[in-house]
Structure 1
């Protein structure tokens, strides 16, 4: 027995040692020397206490090559997964459950577009050379180091990263902005199947010209619904970020304590591990920038230095149209276009599947764009639905635009750089130390025929689906040094200086109005401290606005003293979603039940689930509660005609019953922090027990849906998992940019078991801000280790 126990102990010790060696071999190297090919001079990489690299090079090419190397050390698996998602290659490593996602992305033509786009790029431009050097750094790291643990678990083979991969990932980013996929099928169904009286709550103009002349069959409606579902699920199943919204503001020196502009920004993106942004300070003689980078992109999407700073939010303009084509009854491969039958283009692609036979796709394109219901394969209906998408149709020199924005120290340079961002639509909010602030809604806006409402499926057999060119950039919403002394951007509908209408899927105005109300207070001098409080504001005026018209109905619905007290709690509630409050829990459950009881009978099953994932529901619910005569209140599944009071009562009773069953009989246990939690999910953490190794959380989460601290969940029953929120929080006072503050939601590193994998997660949820070291003396004082990259001999 002693010999057996000794042998077992030796085996355990060897296994532990082997496991320790294995994990250690995968960790980033942050000190010592490493030789890199094509470096012209040594490059210093100083890592601070958060694992942020501060790269100091002698020239631009060396700087970007070093960035690629250290970025790959921390985020190689993220880079791999994002390019596979964008190019429709996930099933090759994740198996048959990702075939539908791959099929969708192949249908979107991102892969095909990227390959063609690369051929047209100016290979002599500084931005292209920067990208080439950056990708070379990534590939040198990949070629000379052990693969990440995720590569081993999934059996991923290494292959070089290319310029086409970077352009493809830009396409994925643009797609994740495109709310049309989730919204247009639902709105078109409401309009064409339920009628204009049901459409009123969505606050859309009624345009008879937009009605599809060729009626859709039932299986075509199923197509549209399936496309919406597939679009909504694709990124979630891949465990990758989806861009959802954002806050940003710039305040002039006349309104700040320091007398210089102050910039704040917190882009709202789906949470994941690793986090979306990779922070790095890059410098060589004549250039210095602290930037937030996306995977496979050498230029910063957010950045600052001592001279200027900028942030971005989603413009929310509608740059994607869905178009129902009229098919030739004698030839299913022809559609009616501009007065004649026109052939559909066709191509074949093959998806490699890890655990099954390859899947061959036949993908078609009409003159309007790719036929997206080909993503459904053989189950697709008879009506081809084409997609016109600005990302595929414009020149879109977005890499060059951001390259210039990384160097834009004047209003003119920032404006010129922003004009090159054509898709996806972005708001660029900018400030400099000289005292200027500016905002440009960056997108190439298409001219549509008069009267066409792109919120609905368009009729491809008429001219309503045509594009009549593009508006000049001067028509885009924008401001420079406004007299009021501040600019705020929060995804709400903006106004063109020339008065053109800009269709879009804009967020609720409430979040922007709340920020604007506070920024408009001339008695406040803004600094880093009160700006933190504004970014962390957990409140909203949406709740009181939605509840006000139905308070009497709720009071009548309460069946006992306990419920009466809960109603009065909602009446007196100011909309703050704090951890210890119970009112937000009750309100958010009630929101879901109101939607379900009012709309679930008309939009049964998947159509209702898709509605819950759209922004138009947020707009609809306050309009619905304010309209006692809306036809939505009647329950179609009964013979009686229900009114608002009856439906509100049913929603109230269902809310109370669900919360008691889920969170406990005592309403005191319904605290928001118990019901509303954040877990950062890794793509491999969706399977047990890997969730314990790779996921980070859960954490009790303050804030909520469309509060300034936009830790947002999907509309649904309690409990709620936070889906998206501030992907970073940044504050830069241009009086001294070296005092800038920020935070990463999880950690700088994407390497499991690394000390920087999740070291910021707890502080993030607590609203803590950390220094973004900029000055050389500050970086030196906070250097934890130094890695020197040397030219290979």
Structure 2
């Protein structure tokens, strides 16, 4: 027995020692020397207490090569997964469950478009040279250092990262901004199958019938369209990768700040994932520096600042994606009607490799308007109407790499404006300030000229010319402001106004978040600084709850069955809308939102379209308008013989709300506190598999804030508990009086390497609403240096 126990102890120790050695071998090297090909001089990389690299180089090529190398140390698996997602290659490493996602992204045409753009890149341009050097740094890391643990678990064979991979991820970003694939089928179904009385709650009154008619879609076509909507929603969550959802940014002129210089704030709203989206790096050249936030496979910072200027971005939310019902030749199903004649659909063959299964062959079609999205469903497609997709990303030159490359040195309004003009897709709001005192905002995108009266919120009818475009508006016609007299600019995804009065269709978020920020910034008695700006970013209320509750308070009071219920109704009536973690009204309100939606709309839409509605932005607009309209036909339940009114449906929703909360979380309302029901977990792509979730996922954290408020820790409308799925992907505050004192935070950690000290070292700080210094001063960088990596020419 003693010998057996001794052998067992030795085996366990050896296994533990081997595991420790294995894990240690995968960790980033942040101290010592490494040799790199292509360097012209030594590059010094100092890592601070958060794992942020401070890169000192003598020339641009060395700087970008070093940036690629150190980013790959921390984020190689993220780079690998994102390029595979964008190019439709996930099933090759994750198996058949990702086949639908791959088929969707192949259908969208991102891969083909990226290959075309890559072939056209001017390799001798400054931006082209930066990308080439950056990718070389990534590839040198991949060939010289151990592969990430995820590569071993999934059997990924390393292959070089290419220019086409970088452009593919740009296409993924553009796709994740566009919600037309999700919302257009839903709104068209409501318009065409339920009618105008049902449609009006969705706030699409602008020419809601299109130009002259509507496409004739059969039941099987609706089935396909909803399947495409669901596929579009599920594709990203299945891969465990980030999706771009919204953002806050504002800039305040020196006349309104305590320092007398502009102050910029920004917090892009992106789906949470492990690792986090942004990779922070401080890069220095002789006479030039930038503290930047970088995305995977991009050498140009998407967010940045230095001592002279700063910028942030939000989603423009312009509609640059149309779904178009093609008219098919009854004598030839491979022809569609286009500009007065029948034309052939183009087609191409692609093959998707599938792990542990046979490859899958695809036939992907394209009309003159764009890819046929029905092909994303493969053999599951039932409808006969080809639905084409016109998408700005596929139709513009889109020199977005050059745009952000040029922003690195944009120390004037003219330079920043010129860079913004090169952003075509996805549409972005660029919010900018400089130390000279300028503040500005440009809505950057190529805006298409659609036929008069066409509303692209609906599926367009190709046979009537609704899908045709007459080019694009010039950049000067885009919404924009420079140094407005009021002394501040807010960008929060609400619908902007064009300087020439053109209508700009879009998937705009509720105005409440922007209105809340505007109310606070408009207070001329406040002088803004880094401290009170934190409170603004961390705000956990808007006026949305009032718009939803006020019209139905009488119905809620009538529905209350006893003293406890009446007390709960009065808590809602007097509630200020704050979503603090100890708030019971916040939980009551959010459960009630779902139950009202279900009681009013599930019967008309059916299960499939109702699920799509719950994950779509139109519902945010619909609920206040629905509650304010006692005569809306939505209130009647088609499943009963009686004719229900608003009071009946509100009573049903109230009773269902209480039943759910009591059954799931106990009879005492004290157990319904928001932080118990509203939580954040950072999910890794492998964390969907047990027991790997315990190794790779981070959380749960009780989460304050909520849907469409400044601290936009957002969840989908649905039954409690609520999982936060997107929110501030970073929070940044830069006072141009002394940008070296800027503040920021990473929701998780700088590193994407499991078991690394910086994998999740900021997660607790982030959820508590705290900030970290972003070191720029030489003495601060030196004082906080935790390791020095020297990259030496080979």
Shared fold per TM-score greater than 0.5: yes
What is residue 747 of structure 2 aligned with on the other side?
745
In 2, are the aligned partners of 1:338 and 1:462 still within 8 Å (CA)? no
**Alpha-carbon distance between aligned partners in 2 of 1:164 and 1:212, rounded to the nearest angstrom:** 41
What is residue 759 of structure 1 aligned with on the other side?
761
What is residue 406 of structure 2 aligned with on the other side?
404
**Alpha-carbon distance between aligned partners in 1 of 2:209 and 2:241, rounded to the nearest angstrom:** 39
What is residue 313 of structure 1 aligned with on the other side?
314
In 2, are the aligned partners of 1:308 and 1:433 still within 8 Å (CA)? yes
What is residue 288 of structure 1 aligned with on the other side?
289
* Residue 483 in structure 1 maps to residue 485 in structure 2: yes
What is residue 444 of structure 2 aligned with on the other side?
442
Return the match for 1:778 from 763, 772, 780. 780
**Alpha-carbon distance between aligned partners in 2 of 1:693 and 1:789, rounded to the nearest angstrom:** 32
Return the match for 1:648 from 644, 647, 650. 650
What is residue 232 of structure 2 aligned with on the other side?
231
Question: In the TM superposition, what whole-angstrom CA distance separates every residue of 1:146-193 from its partner, at most 9, and x where no partner exists?
Answer: 110000000000000000000000000000001111100000000000
Alignment of 1:509-588 (within 5 A): 509-588=511-590
* Residue 681 in structure 1 maps to residue 683 in structure 2: yes
What is residue 466 of structure 1 aligned with on the other side?
468
Q: CA deviation at 1:285?
A: 1.1
Equivalent pairs counted in the alignment come to: 792
Question: Which ranges of structure 2 fall in alignment gaps of 5 or more residues?
Answer: none
Q: Secondary structure of 1:17's partner?
A: helix
What is residue 328 of structure 2 aligned with on the other side?
327
In 2, are the aligned partners of 1:249 and 1:263 still within 8 Å (CA)? yes
**Alpha-carbon distance between aligned partners in 1 of 2:348 and 2:364, rounded to the nearest angstrom:** 5
Moved more, 536-545 or 242-251: 536-545
**Alpha-carbon distance between aligned partners in 1 of 2:283 and 2:537, rounded to the nearest angstrom:** 27
What is residue 374 of structure 2 aligned with on the other side?
373
Question: In the TM superposition, what whole-angstrom CA distance separates every residue of 1:757-776 from its partner, at most 9, and x where no partner exists?
Answer: 00000000000100000111
What is residue 68 of structure 1 aligned with on the other side?
68
What is residue 23 of structure 1 aligned with on the other side?
23
* Residue 220 in structure 1 maps to residue 221 in structure 2: yes
**Alpha-carbon distance between aligned partners in 2 of 1:72 and 1:709, rounded to the nearest angstrom:** 31
Return the match for 1:722 from 721, 724, 749. 724
In structure 2, the CA distance between the partners of 1:506 and 1:682, relative to structure 1 (3 Å rule), is: same
Question: In the TM superposition, what whole-angstrom CA distance separates every residue of 1:17-59 from its partner, at most 9, and x where no partner exists?
Answer: 1000000000000000000000000000000000000000000
Moved more, 521-530 or 371-380: 371-380
Q: Secondary structure of 1:461's partner?
A: helix
Q: CA deviation at 1:392?
A: 0.3
In 2, are the aligned partners of 1:337 and 1:462 still within 8 Å (CA)? no
In structure 2, the CA distance between the partners of 1:210 and 1:229, relative to structure 1 (3 Å rule), is: farther
* Residue 137 in structure 1 maps to residue 133 in structure 2: no
In structure 2, the CA distance between the partners of 1:140 and 1:318, relative to structure 1 (3 Å rule), is: same
What is residue 77 of structure 2 aligned with on the other side?
77
In 1, are the aligned partners of 2:214 and 2:460 still within 8 Å (CA)? no
In structure 2, the CA distance between the partners of 1:183 and 1:214, relative to structure 1 (3 Å rule), is: closer
Return the match for 1:493 from 489, 495, 499. 495
Moved more, 778-787 or 66-75: 778-787
What is residue 435 of structure 2 aligned with on the other side?
433
**Alpha-carbon distance between aligned partners in 2 of 1:144 and 1:464, rounded to the nearest angstrom:** 54
Q: CA deviation at 1:525?
A: 0.2
What is residue 363 of structure 1 aligned with on the other side?
364
Question: In the TM superposition, what whole-angstrom CA distance separates every residue of 1:678-721 from its partner, at most 9, and x where no partner exists?
Answer: 00000000011000000000000000001100000000000000
**Alpha-carbon distance between aligned partners in 1 of 2:237 and 2:414, rounded to the nearest angstrom:** 39
Q: CA deviation at 1:208?
A: 2.9
Q: CA deviation at 1:3?
A: 0.7
Q: CA deviation at 1:379?
A: 2.1
**Alpha-carbon distance between aligned partners in 1 of 2:328 and 2:218, rounded to the nearest angstrom:** 13
Alignment of 1:174-253 (within 5 A): 174-205=174-205, 206-210=207-211, 213-253=214-254
In structure 2, the CA distance between the partners of 1:538 and 1:378, relative to structure 1 (3 Å rule), is: same
Q: CA deviation at 1:610?
A: 0.5
Q: CA deviation at 1:406?
A: 1.5
Q: Secondary structure of 1:402's partner?
A: helix
Question: In the TM superposition, what whole-angstrom CA distance separates every residue of 1:649-703 from its partner, at most 9, and x where no partner exists?
Answer: 0000000000001111101111000000000000000011000000000000000
Q: Secondary structure of 1:429's partner?
A: strand
Question: In the TM superposition, what whole-angstrom CA distance separates every residue of 1:393-423 from its partner, at most 9, and x where no partner exists?
Answer: 0010000011111211100100000000000
In structure 2, the CA distance between the partners of 1:688 and 1:64, relative to structure 1 (3 Å rule), is: same
**Alpha-carbon distance between aligned partners in 2 of 1:328 and 1:19, rounded to the nearest angstrom:** 64
In structure 2, the CA distance between the partners of 1:22 and 1:616, relative to structure 1 (3 Å rule), is: same
**Alpha-carbon distance between aligned partners in 2 of 1:165 and 1:414, rounded to the nearest angstrom:** 27
In structure 2, the CA distance between the partners of 1:348 and 1:211, relative to structure 1 (3 Å rule), is: farther
Alignment of 1:620-635 (within 5 A): 620-635=622-637
What is residue 125 of structure 2 aligned with on the other side?
125
Q: Secondary structure of 1:625's partner?
A: helix
In 2, are the aligned partners of 1:211 and 1:458 still within 8 Å (CA)? no
**Alpha-carbon distance between aligned partners in 1 of 2:217 and 2:492, rounded to the nearest angstrom:** 37
In structure 2, the CA distance between the partners of 1:212 and 1:377, relative to structure 1 (3 Å rule), is: farther
Return the match for 2:609 from 590, 604, 607. 607
In 1, are the aligned partners of 2:215 and 2:459 still within 8 Å (CA)? no
In 2, are the aligned partners of 1:212 and 1:458 still within 8 Å (CA)? no
Q: CA deviation at 1:214?
A: 4.1
Q: Secondary structure of 1:349's partner?
A: strand
In 2, are the aligned partners of 1:477 and 1:495 still within 8 Å (CA)? yes
In structure 2, the CA distance between the partners of 1:732 and 1:686, relative to structure 1 (3 Å rule), is: same
**Alpha-carbon distance between aligned partners in 2 of 1:633 and 1:377, rounded to the nearest angstrom:** 38
Q: Secondary structure of 2:552's partner?
A: helix
In structure 2, the CA distance between the partners of 1:213 and 1:534, relative to structure 1 (3 Å rule), is: closer
Question: In the TM superposition, what whole-angstrom CA distance separates every residue of 1:275-320 from its partner, at most 9, and x where no partner exists?
Answer: 0000000111132000000000001000000000000000000000
Q: CA deviation at 1:209?
A: 3.3
Q: CA deviation at 1:212?
A: 5.3
Q: CA deviation at 1:355?
A: 2.0
Q: Secondary structure of 2:390's partner?
A: strand
What is residue 39 of structure 1 aligned with on the other side?
39
In 1, are the aligned partners of 2:324 and 2:389 still within 8 Å (CA)? yes
Question: Which ranges of structure 1 fall in alignment gaps of 5 or more residues?
Answer: none
In 1, are the aligned partners of 2:215 and 2:460 still within 8 Å (CA)? no
**Alpha-carbon distance between aligned partners in 2 of 1:119 and 1:723, rounded to the nearest angstrom:** 36
**Alpha-carbon distance between aligned partners in 2 of 1:332 and 1:405, rounded to the nearest angstrom:** 49
Q: Secondary structure of 2:605's partner?
A: coil
What is residue 338 of structure 2 aligned with on the other side?
337
Question: In the TM superposition, what whole-angstrom CA distance separates every residue of 1:346-388 from its partner, at most 9, and x where no partner exists?
Answer: 0010000002111000000000000011000122211100000
In 2, are the aligned partners of 1:202 and 1:616 still within 8 Å (CA)? yes
What is residue 303 of structure 1 aligned with on the other side?
304
In 2, are the aligned partners of 1:431 and 1:437 still within 8 Å (CA)? yes
**Alpha-carbon distance between aligned partners in 1 of 2:133 and 2:716, rounded to the nearest angstrom:** 41
Q: Secondary structure of 2:466's partner?
A: helix
What is residue 164 of structure 1 aligned with on the other side?
164
**Alpha-carbon distance between aligned partners in 1 of 2:284 and 2:741, rounded to the nearest angstrom:** 18
**Alpha-carbon distance between aligned partners in 2 of 1:22 and 1:186, rounded to the nearest angstrom:** 50
What is residue 96 of structure 1 aligned with on the other side?
96
**Alpha-carbon distance between aligned partners in 1 of 2:474 and 2:259, rounded to the nearest angstrom:** 37
Q: CA deviation at 1:625?
A: 0.3
In 2, are the aligned partners of 1:258 and 1:527 still within 8 Å (CA)? yes
**Alpha-carbon distance between aligned partners in 2 of 1:213 and 1:257, rounded to the nearest angstrom:** 56
In 1, are the aligned partners of 2:88 and 2:103 still within 8 Å (CA)? yes
What is residue 8 of structure 1 aligned with on the other side?
8
